[in-house]
Amino acid sequence: MQSKAYALAERTDNVAEYVQATNTIYNLPPEVVSDPRVNRAKQEEIATLLGRLTAFQTQYQEDMQASQGT
């Protein structure tokens, strides 16, 4: 049970990290947003975080199905 609680806490942290990263993109000054290097770095950061969130969501769904099957 503790491992499930830890996994949930880790997912919550990742969601918070994703939200923070997306918020920083929308709050950048216009001169920074127009810099393609910044955009590329932010897109890579968000893609990485989104991939992690997707993996956690998949694992969560598998855990739920497994717990309902037993």
Q: Given this model, what pLDDT does residue 20 score?
A: 73
d(CA 38, CA 17): 18
The predicted model scores a pTM of 0.50
Q: Which position has the token pair 């969560």?
A: 60
Percent of the chain with pLDDT over 70: 63
Q: Helix %, strand %, coil % for the chain, to 5?
A: 90, 0, 10
Is residue 59 within a helix (H) or strand (E), and if so which, with residue range? helix 36-69
